Amino acid sequence: MPVTVLRFNLVDPEADRQSLARRYAAALEMAAYADGHGITMVQTEEHHGVAGGWLPSPLTFAGAVLGATRTVTVTVCALTVPLYDPLRLAEDIAVLDLTGGGRLVTVAGTGFRPQEYATHGKDWARRGALQDEALEILLAAWSGEPFAYHGRRVRITPRPYSNPHPPLLVGGSSRAAARRAARLGLPFAPGAHLPALETYYHARRAEYGTPGWCLMPARRTVVVHCAEDPDRVWDRYGRHLLHEARSYGSRCPADSPAPVRSAARDAAALRREGVYRVMTPEDCVAFARAEGRRTSLVLHPLCGGMPVAEGQRSLRLFVERVLPRLAPRTGAAAA
């Protein structure tokens, strides 16, 4: 069965306080509905100061999702670790790990927007050094033992639920990120399908003598909206998909590999590209079977300010008409 992801970043360029609060509540309801119905994970992300309200506090939202669910994995992909105080971050993730019984997975990234560093008073030029220090502190802190920190001895409690520490991957699309993961003995999550970088990571692991594995994205990542009538959705709601595609594209460096990238200027062009897809249930099943087990189906029901009711229809249709055909036993249990 392919990995099925329910993605939220809570963007809505037309929201006011009340409608945005309703959108957050709807996302939690959707996560609870997906929980136990065969969805592999709920995924969220982090950006700061972006028009449209792009989620800036993924750990807070992840905690709410963990509280609303019982079994689904909750992934923050990615957390911009250098923006955080590492001791407080160690405490926060430990508490979330205890709250969710080990269901929180954190992908540690450095980000790609200097503006976010400036907003938080961090030095963009030192992002690699800040990342190294923070990851080393997290691993030391989660041991529960005292350790040296800026000239003093500190100890972080409580110990996390997971042993030896909460699930933590190093994200990035550079050799520096791969070396960092290898040196620390942490799994590596490239930002796009980059087999050569995976090879480099394992070679560095061999040099360091460290354990680890690579979470390689599928060759094609497709953002899915499930609907009975794709033409209707593109006509009425294509602007929401376009808003997210253009917003992300305007911030992502041109030379940076990314799993989702679009050059579309209008909804018709976006549809032709095939990165954001409105699929019937039958199309979803055919796509998943054609791509094989290593593909990912990323369902993004509230994409770019998509109306909540339409997002709910998409999710329910996916759960009721797609998942049972990809994994009959899971579908029977969900029914």
pLDDT tens digits for range 3-14: 899 999 999 999
HSE value, Cβ hemisphere, 13 Å, CA-based, for 22: 13
DSSP assignment of 246-307, as one string?
HHHHHHS-TTS--SS----SSHHHHHHHTSEEEE-HHHHHHHHHHH-TT-EEEE-TTGGG--
- The 10s digit of each residue's pLDDT in 166-193 is 999 999 999 999 999 999 999 999 999 9
Cα separation of 297 and 274, whole Å?
13
Q: Supply the pLDDT for residue 259.
A: 64
* Average pLDDT, integer, range 101-105: 98
How many Cβ atoms from other residues are within 10 Å of residue 18's Cβ? 8
Q: Supply the pLDDT for residue 216.
A: 93
Q: Supply the pLDDT for residue 291.
A: 86
Task: Assess contact for 22 and 58: CB atoms under 8 A.
Answer: no
* Average pLDDT, integer, range 76-96: 98
Q: Supply the pLDDT for residue 329.
A: 42
pLDDT at 220 over 70: yes
Q: Supply the pLDDT for residue 222.
A: 87
Q: Supply the pLDDT for residue 3.
A: 87
Average pLDDT, the chain: 93
Q: Does 92 or 257 have the greater pLDDT score?
A: 92
pLDDT at 332 over 60: no
Considering only 44-53, 125-134, 149-158, which range has the smallest mean pLDDT? Answer: 44-53
Considering only 11-25, 49-63, 141-155, 240-254, which range has the smallest mean pLDDT? Answer: 240-254
H helix or E strand, kind and range, residue 13: none
Which residues have a Cβ under 8 Å from the Cβ of 102 and sit 6 or more positions away?
A: 161, 162, 166, 167
Cα separation of 58 and 42, whole Å?
12
Instruction: Please tell me what DSSP assigns to residue 124.
Output: G
Query: What is the token pair recorded at 188?
Result: 């590596």
Q: Supply the pLDDT for residue 261.
A: 72
Q: Supply the pLDDT for residue 328.
A: 52
Cα separation of 45 and 78, whole Å?
5
Task: Assess contact for 30 and 23: CB atoms under 8 A.
Answer: no
- The 10s digit of each residue's pLDDT in 271-309 is 999 999 999 999 999 999 998 877 889 999 999 999 999
Q: Supply the pLDDT for residue 254.
A: 65
pLDDT at 258 over 70: no
H helix or E strand, kind and range, residue 97: helix 86-100
pLDDT at 98 over 90: yes
Q: Cis omega before residue 146 (within 30°)?
A: no
Which residues have a Cβ under 8 Å from the Cβ of 259 and sit 6 or more positions away?
A: 191, 192, 193, 217, 221
Query: What is the token pair recorded at 193?
Result: 């399908």
What pTM did the predictor assign?
Answer: 0.94
Query: What is the token pair recorded at 322?
Result: 């797609």
Domains parsed from the chain with CATH numbers: 1-40+219-335 (no CATH), 72-217 (3.20.20.30)
Q: Supply the pLDDT for residue 333.
A: 37
Kindly provide the residue ranges of all beta strands, DSSP E only, lying in 51-198, ordered along the sequence.
Answer: 73-80, 104-109, 147-149, 152-154, 168-172, 188-190
Cα separation of 18 and 33, whole Å?
23
Query: What is the token pair recorded at 12?
Result: 């809505």
